[in-house]
Amino acid sequence: MALLSFTVLIIILIILIIFRLKTWFIQYIKLLKTYGSIPCPRNRLPLFGNLFNLPLDPYQFSQKLDLLYEESKTTTLYCLWLGTYPLIAFFHPVGLEHFLSGSRHITKSSDYAYLYPWLRTGLLTSNGAKWKNRRRIITPAFHDKELLNNYVDIYNEQSTILVQRLSSIESGKEVNLYSYIASCALDIICEAAMGLNIGAQQKKNSQYVDAVLKLTDIILKRQRMPWLWPDLLFKLLPEGRDHDRNLNIIHQFTKKVIDDRAQAFRADENRGKRYAFLDLLLKQMNDEQLTLLDIQEEVDTFMFEGHDTTAAAINFTCFMIASHPEVQKKLHEEIDRVFGNDRDRPCTMEDLNELEYLECVIKETLRLYPSVPFIAREIQEDFMYHGYKLLKGSTAVIFIYYVHRDPKHFPDPDRFDPDRFLPENSHNRSPFAFVPFSAGSRNCIGQRFAMLEEKSMLSWILRRFKLKTSQTFNDLNLSFEIILRSEHGAFVQLECRV
Q: Which residue ranges make up the annotated binding site for heme?
A: 444
Pairing of strands 383-385, 375-378: unpaired
Q: How many CB atoms lie within 10 A of CB 274?
A: 16
d(CA 273, CA 325): 43
Structural element, H or E, at residue 398? strand 395-398
Sign of CA dihedral 93, 95, 99, 101: positive
d(CA 346, CA 343): 9
Residues 385-409: b if buried by 16+ CB within 10 A, e if exposed = beebebbeebbbbbbbbbbbbbeeb
Annotated binding site: 444
d(CA 461, CA 458): 5
Q: Are 38 and 77 spatial neighbours (Cβ–Cβ below 8 Å)?
A: yes
Task: Give backbone dihedrals phi and psi of 421, rounded to 5 degrees, phi first.
Answer: -105, 10
H helix and E strand count, the chain: 18, 11
Closest CA to 163 of 177, 174, 173: 177
Closest CA to 152 of 26, 444, 160: 160
Which residues, at least 6 apart from 209, have a Cβ–Cβ distance to it below 8 Å? 183, 186, 198, 200
d(CA 420, CA 410): 8
DSSP 47-112: TTBTGGGS-SSHHHHHHHHHHHHHHHTTSS-EEEEETTEEEEEE-SSTTTHHHHSSSSS-PBPGGG
| Alpha helices (H) along 371-446 | 400-403, 423-426
Q: How many CB atoms lie within 10 A of CB 495?
A: 13
Structural element, H or E, at residue 493? strand 491-496
d(CA 368, CA 495): 26
The type of residue at 461 is: I
d(CA 346, CA 160): 9
d(CA 364, CA 379): 30
